[in-house]
A and B are shown apart, each in its own frame.
Chain A
Amino acid sequence: MTTMRPKGNIQDKLVNKAVRNIRKGGNQEDPGKSMYQPGVKLDLQRSVLLTQAYRETEGQPMVLRRAKALDKILSSMDLYIQDHERIVGNNVSTPSGLYFGIDMAWRSVRRVVDQEEGKSLLDDAGRKTLDELIAYWDGKAMSDIQQKTFTGEILESWKFENSGAMSWSHWSELGIPDYEKVFKVGVKGLMDQARARLDEIDRTVPPDYVDQKEFLQAVLISMEATLKYAKRYGALALEKAAAATDPEDKARLESIARTCSRVPEHPPQTLQEALQSFFFLHVIRYIEYSTLGIGVRFDKVFGPYLEKDLKNGVLTRDQALELLQLLWVKFHELGLIYSPSLSAIYGGVASLQAITLGGVDENGEDVTNDMTYLVLECAETMRTPEPTIALRYHDGTPRELLSRATDVIKTGIGYPSFFNDKAILPLLKKWDAPLKDSRDYAISGCVYLEIPGKNIARRAYGGIVLPAALYYALNQGKSQFTGKIVGAKTPDPRTFQSADDLMDAYSAQVEFFAKRLCTLENTSQTLYEKYLPRPFYSALLEGCIEQGKESKKFTYPSAVVNLCIMIGPTNVGDSITAVKKVVFDDKKVSMDALLKAMDANWKGYEDIRQLMVNAPKYGNDDDYADAISAQVQTRTAQAMAKAKTRFGLPCRGDGSGLSATYAAGSIIPATPEGRYSGEPFADATLSPVFGMDQNGPTAVLKSASKTSTVDSYNHLMNQKFLPQALEGNMKEVFVDYIRSWGDLGISQIQFNVVDKQTLLAAQEKPEDYPDLLVRVAGYSAYFVDLSKGLQDSIIARTDQSF
């Protein structure tokens, strides 16, 4: 390898493709702000090639059509190698392009490119091409098919505005391929396995012979296409090398060519080969199907290659760091187009990519190695919103690693976030995952738990707005907008004898909406299976080639496959606590008076609101409030579990609220904890309601520890610290704080380390703070890309100062 480039140079290569959030619920916010940075374009090549392939394969089995379409794209899409690159590939044809899944949904994109907020994404010729493509896809894209399939009540409940209690969306999947297997046998090995299975079914002729045969043939086509794509890159690198005059440049390009000639076909021998092999598979997965996240356990998977290269003198540590930094630039080139309404949920997101560090191996031993520290150094120098880093914590996590992680957190980029093996391994056990599998869990994006290589492919298919369920529990299921019954018909709250009655009504509402949501999702999963099979991705998962089955035809046998975003459980906890205290225990206000006060959005009822606000609150280590909050979490999980997937697994929640906690609040009326109509909800499933935690950061953790992860779901918890809390002597205290969090068995924690003044200044003069990163939910984003309201809600999180 050649000498190291200055780090500043690499950072300059970053492209910001994160979507700016311009919607709050259904309403426009910050008019005039465009959805993407100038220069970012909608890339139509995939759509054009996909359409061609679809036209050529009409009438053929869908799984083969999808494989042939992938082949068409990988064989013909324009390739590029930039002057700084060592790792190559992208899901689009230029560094500034946005991925567009026209086969998934096109209507909102069509609208966006005509509006002010998205006009710059296409030129007029592009708009014309788009119209031609749409002429083909109209009626064939997944969202069109879904609209035709959903009818009656199901269609009604699809529309978020009808209840405000649940939202379902047809968006991307995550999932973690079995990179370790591919590194062991190469794509070549996967193809051998597929051929062997074909031979086998020729002998045994099982009842689903035809399905299996078509699938396995599709796997082979997809894998051939993958090899073709890599070889095309190799050829391009050679061509550029021949033209290069600078010897260093020539060497760089030749090394790319060498790498692409070997991987992903063969097992990688060096770190560069391993990273390139991984990245090819990563982008092809994105090309095949609308995809988010990464999830690879980076140190566990790549650490051995680093160690070998360092030992053999193939690389210096600085050169390895540079390779990582260049890979980080590539991660940033993976952007996708969002609809304006999705921007409200995914404010500031590009591809929600997260990687995992630390944790244990299948024998329970700590996996920390040189790569763990090198990744942290890369993160510290690059300061990119993606990939975020999930650091798995267990008793054997070295203190030195926590100390290094604290250095990175101190920069304010919002990661690494910590995931507690002590809470998550028991949760996965409860969800029936074998210990060997659960020890390998990783975070693919946000806080999504997955197990690498297993047929899980989680999808944030929707969310339940829990305070809306509470609203319906207090209003007998009646809509605030139409007066129609849109929830469960629960009893008149004026007849409630205790807070338990309210809890029961709330549970009934959660169950009602969870079942609605699962009906939508289960129907939709059937449509995905039928119309969007994924032969390429299936080949990278355990069980697909072995059984000759595409990934949608069976499931990993654990509830970990499901993912429903939970919004506002601590608001519900504080609400029921306040009702118990004020209405039932102290009898200071009648239920009727409380309902009237909330109907009036507290106007003219400030005395009642103060009584509700002054009731005990979650986040203060107050057992009265914490017990009810914990009960809300477990009752919510129990209610949701009554809804089932199409494979009969219980529906499970997930702590990733994304920026939806902010958006969802906008149409929900006043709630009993004293919240006004339209105000945002607490920013994460274990976070106290803004400003309600008054006893400091130890009390917050104690409150959170009273919620059982095992009896609920995996959570997310934000803590905001001032920068001085991590400086000097305080750094050790911070590490001790994290270790105490670990001992308390709380499943997750993440930190925003930035002072209020800086945030206010950035709001005032965004042009001076283009690179200021903040933690939004399970991801980080550029602060200035967020809407004013979302910025305000981040500023409102309580500071924990030392």
Chain B
Amino acid sequence: MPLQGTVFNIQRFSTHDGPGIRTTVFLKGCPLRCLWCANPESQVLAPQLMTRDIKCTGCGACVEACSRGAIVLSVDHGRIIHRDQCDLCFECVDACLYKALSVAGELKTPESVMETVKRDEVFYRNSGGGVTFSGGEPLVQHDFLYEVLAACRQEGFHTALDTTGHAPPRVLEKILPLADLALFDIKHLDPAQHKILTGVDNKLILENARLAANITRTWFRLPLMGGVNDSEEEISRVAAMAREWGVEKISLLPFHQGGEPKWAQVGLKSPGFVGHTPDDEHVERLAQIIRDNGIVAGIRS
């Protein structure tokens, strides 16, 4: 059995995940459970059935295709999927003509990922771009990630790793030497708050951040939730840390409520997090604090 990874999206023409025009490879699986998660289909490692009810015509083709009887038609609600009876054979996906059913997460070999990644080589070359690995937490599938990063290096592609930083340090030590850039998420500096917001403590993450900056060029990425992690004091502390560790840039990513509908599409209950988007003036003030520390500040990039 060849090495395979579970990939839930390959986004070409990414322009916000590192320099230039990039292809971002999204790997499934994540140890964190952030309340604001915009890609809930990325959390579980295994492939999942995704629904788009808006496209469902109630034709019943999926009901016929399902050997387990996990799908039933109802007069009021179109088709209903009993996920507890589903064995993830995805026959229903093939049967659906209207693309109202899809699979989140496809098993791919490194060669297959590279086949897609290579397609935009001309754009990387002209723009100083390359390939970004994101998730989920890409380090979850570190064996697969290692293979693909090594293949990218072979091709001469610039690579970036977008990571939560929650992984054993030996994994970082194995992977980061192959990445030209680490995009390292810092979600909150307070351990208790961090645990509430993401489900995990931040001690390992902060230690790994220092480790990352030691190994490769590193940028911090801060998802900004109004009133949660966007105080001037918090940003000052992150900036000071960044300066001390030699981090080059801090990107401020103001929160958006975009991921909400996806929870139901993978059959999960949304944590119901209602976030606030910090206003532009405030974000600009925070950026200035970062610049005052001699660090490049990016807003939404």
Among A27-35, A167-175, A294-302, A606-614, the one that faces the other chain is A606-614
Q: Residue among A696, A699, A730, A740 with the most chain B CB within 10 A?
A: A740
Chain B stretch 13-50: residues in CB contact (< 8 A) with chain A? 13, 15-16, 20-21
Chain B residues with CB under 8 A of A736: 20-21, 123, 126-129
| Pairwise interchain contact A610-B122, C-beta atoms closer than 8 A | no
Contact flags A594-627 to B (C-beta < 8 A → 1, else 0):
0000000000000100110010000001000000
| Pairwise interchain contact A733-B119, C-beta atoms closer than 8 A | no
Q: Does A695 contact B (CB under 8 A)?
A: yes
| Pairwise interchain contact B97-A614, C-beta atoms closer than 8 A | yes
| Pairwise interchain contact B123-A621, C-beta atoms closer than 8 A | no
| Pairwise interchain contact B123-A610, C-beta atoms closer than 8 A | no
A335 to B205 alpha-carbon distance, docked (Å): 68
Q: Does B243 contact A (CB under 8 A)?
A: no
Q: Does A647 contact B (CB under 8 A)?
A: no
Contact flags A713-739 to B (C-beta < 8 A → 1, else 0):
000000000000000011011001101
Contact flags A680-702 to B (C-beta < 8 A → 1, else 0):
00000000000000011111001
| Pairwise interchain contact A802-B126, C-beta atoms closer than 8 A | no
| Pairwise interchain contact A607-B97, C-beta atoms closer than 8 A | yes
| Pairwise interchain contact B123-A698, C-beta atoms closer than 8 A | yes
Known pairs A733-B20, A736-B127, A739-B126; A802 contacts B13 (CB<8 A): yes
| Pairwise interchain contact B98-A702, C-beta atoms closer than 8 A | no
Nearest CB of chain B from residue A800's CB, rounded to whole Å: 8
Chain A residues with CB under 8 A of B119: 621, 698-699, 702
Known pairs A607-B97, A698-B21, A733-B21; A744 contacts B15 (CB<8 A): no
Chain B stretch 232-263: residues in CB contact (< 8 A) with chain A? none
Q: Does B195 contact A (CB under 8 A)?
A: no
| Pairwise interchain contact A737-B99, C-beta atoms closer than 8 A | no
Chain B stretch 95-129: residues in CB contact (< 8 A) with chain A? 97-99, 119-120, 122-123, 125-129
Q: Does A743 contact B (CB under 8 A)?
A: yes
Chain B residues with CB under 8 A of A614: 97, 99
| Pairwise interchain contact A610-B15, C-beta atoms closer than 8 A | no
Contact flags B47-68 to A (C-beta < 8 A → 1, else 0):
0000000000001000000000
| Pairwise interchain contact B97-A730, C-beta atoms closer than 8 A | no
A104 to B120 alpha-carbon distance, docked (Å): 51
Chain A residues with CB under 8 A of B98: 610
A702 to B12 alpha-carbon distance, docked (Å): 12
Nearest CB of chain B from residue A131's CB, rounded to whole Å: 61
Nearest CB of chain B from residue A638's CB, rounded to whole Å: 29
A800 to B21 alpha-carbon distance, docked (Å): 14
| Pairwise interchain contact B97-A740, C-beta atoms closer than 8 A | no
- Closest chain B residue to A742, Cβ basis: B126
Nearest CB of chain B from residue A689's CB, rounded to whole Å: 17
A802 to B21 alpha-carbon distance, docked (Å): 9
| Pairwise interchain contact A802-B97, C-beta atoms closer than 8 A | no
A-B contact pairs, 29 of them (CB 8 A): A610-B98, A611-B97, A614-B97, A621-B12, A621-B119, A695-B12, A696-B13, A698-B12, A698-B13, A698-B123, A699-B13, A699-B119, A702-B120, A730-B15, A732-B127, A733-B15, A733-B20, A733-B21, A733-B127, A736-B123, A737-B21, A737-B123, A737-B127, A740-B125, A740-B126, A740-B127, A743-B126, A802-B15, A802-B16
Please give the residue numbers on chain B whose beta carbons come within 8 Å of chain A beta carbons, in ascending order.
Answer: 11-13, 15-16, 20-21, 59, 97-99, 119-120, 122-123, 125-129, 301
Known contacts A696-B13, A698-B13, A699-B13; 9 additional CB pairs below 8 A are A610-B97, A610-B98, A621-B119, A702-B120, A732-B127, A736-B20, A736-B128, A740-B21, A743-B125
